[in-house]
Amino acid sequence: MKRYIRAIILMLALLTLLPGAHPAQAADEITPVSALTDLRANAPEGTFLEAGAAPIITDDSYQSEHINIKITKSRLEEHKTDIAVAEIYVSSVQYLRRAFALDKWKGNMRSVKTIAGDSKAILAMTGDYASLLDAGLVVANGTLYRKSENRVRDNCLILADGRMATYKRREMDLNAVLETGGIWHSFLFGPQLLESGEVITKSDSKIRQANPRSALGYIAPGHYVFVVADGRSGKNRGLTIEALSQLMKDLGCQTAYNLDGGQSAILWFNGEVINAPYKGGRRLTDIVYIGLE
């Protein structure tokens, strides 16, 4: 009997080492919700509605006591590409969230409509598909899903105080960033789009050619942009990494990060896809979104 029990214990220990297995560390060991910083003071007066006020929603905007979204569409004639930019203010990163298809970290893919609807998202954009990678740090909404390094990809962190930091491949010390605490999200696609706040003039990324793009930009704590560029069609060429870098700089970003693009480059707002995804888009593993839960 004792030998049988020991065998079960050994089996359970081995299972925790399998790729994708959840570590024992709980969410509040990384960034307790109570530690999230109130970011209202960073927004211009009138950005948020009074407490208890009903949200104001239009075809291209959303305003509530915690969230302010303004969407603009334009065309970059130099690059023959249509873009959509969502400028976002949140009172806390609690409202800048991630969601996985069917609320499962690994193995599922669903339409952005399904994932966003299940998450009660207001605004959503494709995420980083980190669940399909074999290694790399994964934190979503303060929960640690995988604690390992991926030395071939740039990293991006959203912190509990609203800041966003990016790291070139092999430059992030995994243990150091975990020990400092306060990680709300980590992203694992890349590359980073600005270097010390400056434009990348020549990227060594393998995906640097013109493509449909999804990008996350940071202007100040609580102030972000979601950017989607259409491409791979007769009307829209798409953006190179260098062109996307320049765009993020022009939008006022201090830091910016490239997320899953190509056919996954989708921007969704208030129930509708608002860009023109390549071949209508595809199913996703995860989204980054703005929402109340």
Q: Model confidence over 188-198: pLDDT tens digits?
A: 999 999 999 99
Distances (CA, A) of 187 to 49, 98, 220, 275, 282: 31, 10, 18, 23, 20
Average pLDDT, the chain: 89
25 lies in some domain: no
Q: Is it the case that residue 3 has pLDDT exceeding 60?
A: no
Q: Judge whether 1 lies within some domain.
A: no
Q: Is the pLDDT of residue 174 over 60?
A: yes
Q: Phi-psi bin for 107: left (phi > 0), alpha (psi -120 to 50), beta?
A: left
Q: Which tens digit of pLDDT belongs to each residue from 32-43?
A: 434 799 999 999
Task: State the total domains in the chain.
Answer: 1
pLDDT of 28 above 70: no
Q: Is residue 142 included in any domain, yes or no?
A: yes
Q: Tell me if 226 sits within 8 A of 216, measured CB to CB.
A: yes
Q: What is the mean pLDDT of residues 203-217?
A: 90
**192 in a structural domain:** yes
What is the model's pTM? 0.88
Residue 27 belongs to some domain of the structure: no
Q: Which pLDDT belongs to residue 146?
A: 94
Q: What is the pLDDT of residue 75?
A: 98
Among candidates 44, 78, 77, 35, which has minimal Cα distance to 63?
Answer: 44
CA distances to 100, 101, 105, 113, 157 from 110, rounded to whole Å, are: 9, 6, 13, 8, 25
User: Which range of residues forms the domain containing residue 94?
Assistant: 37-291
Which residues face 289 on adjacent strands? 97, 124
Q: What is the mean pLDDT of residues 234-255?
A: 97
Q: If DSSP codes are grouped into helix, strand and coil, which group holds residue 21?
A: coil
Compute CA distances 253 → 115, 186, 188, 201, 257, whole Å.
27, 18, 19, 16, 10
**160, part of any domain:** yes
Distance of CA 211 to the CA centre of its chain: 18
Q: Token pair for residue 235? A: 């009307």
Q: Does residue 10 sit within a domain?
A: no
Q: Is residue 266 part of a domain?
A: yes
Given a contact cutoff of 8 angstroms between Cβ atoms, the answer to whether 51 and 65 are in contact is yes
Confidence at residue 204, expressed as pLDDT on a 0 to 100 scale:
81
Neighbours of 84 (CB within 10 A): 21
Model pLDDT, residue 21: 37
In 3D space, the residue among 241, 279, 224, 291 whose CA is nearest the CA of residue 85 turns out to be 224
**The dihedral sign for the CA sequence 117, 121, 126, 128:** negative
